[in-house]
Amino acid sequence: MSASTTSSARRVDKVHVMGFGRRLGAQVIDAIIVIFLTFIIGVLISLLGLTFQMFNQDHGNALQPAILLGAVIASFAYYVGMWATQGQTIGKSTLGMTIVNKRGEKLSWGGAILRYIGYMISSLVFGLGFLWIAFDKQRQGWHDKIAGSYVITSDDDINFGDTVEFVPADAGRGWVWLVIWAVVAILTPVGSVAAWFTLGPIVSRMLMGMLGR
């Protein structure tokens, strides 16, 4: 539950907003899930391509754009759907976090879509929008700023009608995460590009081998 202080004029609810480290752990869990979904979609696309004989060993690279599109669809459906319907992804649920707006409600579908757009913007600048969480007083990344969202502990709640003060749960640890994120920001784009260019041909060869082609 959130800590509260009372004065003669108003009641103030102190709600703990989660810091970069715990949210990074949740993101790792979610990334593994999205990668798995992308792999399943890649297999289905490959099977469809084999069924209609749209490619062979000489032009298996035709799979890559379709798999990339499938990855985007899987990511969008997972994050936006979970945010709007559950208020948390599997990763955040596992680590005891919930995403709310300033009124303590789950994000609307529009808010969830805005947050996903913010995710993309944060990713395009080497993850700086995510790193912002470590230093922001309300522990909001750029995507949170865009959508007006806050990540709080699942045990905290917001009482309607009260004034809310968002308090960082990890004060003073920003510089540690700056160093860690700098390494991740360098390695992630390299790994992502490598994954896109290898997943399609690998899935294609695997299925062709299974079908004896």
Q: What pLDDT is recorded for position 50?
A: 66
11 forms beta bridges with: 6
Is residue 195 within 8 A of residue 145, CB to CB? The reply is: no
What is the chain's mean pLDDT, rounded?
Answer: 77
Q: What pLDDT is recorded for position 47?
A: 76
Burial call 148-184: b when 16+ CB within 10 Å, e when fewer: ebbbbbeebebeeebebebbbbbeeebeebeeebeeb
Q: What pLDDT is recorded for position 60?
A: 53
Q: What pLDDT is recorded for position 15?
A: 83
Helix 63-85, helix 174-210: angle, nearest 10: 130
Q: What pLDDT is recorded for position 6?
A: 46
Q: What pLDDT is recorded for position 7?
A: 46
Q: Element (H or E) spanning 168, and its range?
A: strand 163-168
Quote the pTM value: 0.72
Residue type, 115: R
Per-residue pLDDT of 15-69, as tens digits, reads 889 988 888 889 889 989 988 888 888 788 777 766 665 555 555 556 677 777 8
Residues of the chain with pLDDT under 70: 1-12, 49-63, 157-163, 171-213
